[in-house]
Amino acid sequence: MKAALRMVKVDDQTSKSMEDEKNVLNTKVGNFLEAIRQGKDVNILAVITAKENNENATDLVNALKNLIKKNPQLPML
């Protein structure tokens, strides 16, 4: 989980940097990962995706990115 979080870390979250679609996607993935790590309530689709891909940080990040790309308005709960 820590490796996955490092992969999506966005250093600068200013409004200008959030104009970059990649930064927005990484931030969303990071938010889901952090919520899962902390045991907070999270959208079941994100939890299932994380469980299915938890063996490899790259696979985990890519799976969550794909989920969010397919469902851009995916809520945290």
pTM of the model: 0.92
What DSSP line would sit under 21-39, residue for residue?
Answer: HHHHHHHHHHHHHHHHHTT
The domain spans of the chain are: 2-70
Dist CA 65 CA 59 (whole Å): 10
7-21 pLDDT, tens digit per residue, is 999 998 899 999 999
For residues 7-28, one letter each, b for 16 or more C-beta atoms within 10 angstroms of the residue's C-beta and e for the rest, the string is bbebeeeeeeeeeeeebbbbbb
Asked if residue 25 lies in contact with residue 69, where contact means CB atoms within 8 angstroms, the answer is: yes
Mean local confidence (pLDDT), 9-37:
94
Q: How confident is the model at residue 57 (pLDDT cuts 50, 70, 90)?
A: very high
Residue pointed to by tokens 């940097």: 17
